[in-house]
Chains A and B, each alone.
Chain A
Amino acid sequence: MREYTILSLLSVLLTAVLDRTLRTGVLRKAHFWVFMGVMFGFMLIANGYLTWRPIVLYGERFSLGLRLVTIPVEDFLFGFSLVGMSVILWEYFKRKEGRDSEVRP
Chain B
Amino acid sequence: MNIEYLLLLVCITLVPAIMSRSPGLPLASEKGALVRAVLTVSGFFWCWDIIATARGHWWFNEEYVLGIGLLGLPLEEWLFFPVIAFVSVFTWESTKYFMRRR
Contact = CB atoms under 8 A, between A and B. Distances in A.
A51 to B, nearest CB: 10
30 contacts: A3-B52, A3-B55, A4-B57, A4-B58, A31-B99, A35-B92, A35-B96, A38-B91, A38-B95, A39-B91, A50-B5, A53-B61, A53-B64, A57-B59, A57-B60, A58-B58, A59-B57, A83-B88, A85-B41, A85-B44, A86-B37, A86-B84, A86-B85, A86-B88, A86-B92, A87-B89, A89-B37, A89-B40, A90-B88, A93-B34
A46 interface: yes
A20 interface: no
Given A7-B52, A55-B4, A82-B85, A93 B36 contact: yes
B95 A35 contact: yes
Interface residues of B, number: 39
Contacts, number: 106
Binding site secondary structure of chain A: helix
Binding site secondary structure of chain B: helix
Given A3-B52, A3-B55, A39-B88, 11 more contacts: A7-B52, A31-B99, A55-B5, A55-B61, A55-B65, A82-B85, A86-B92, A90-B89, A93-B34, A94-B33, A97-B33
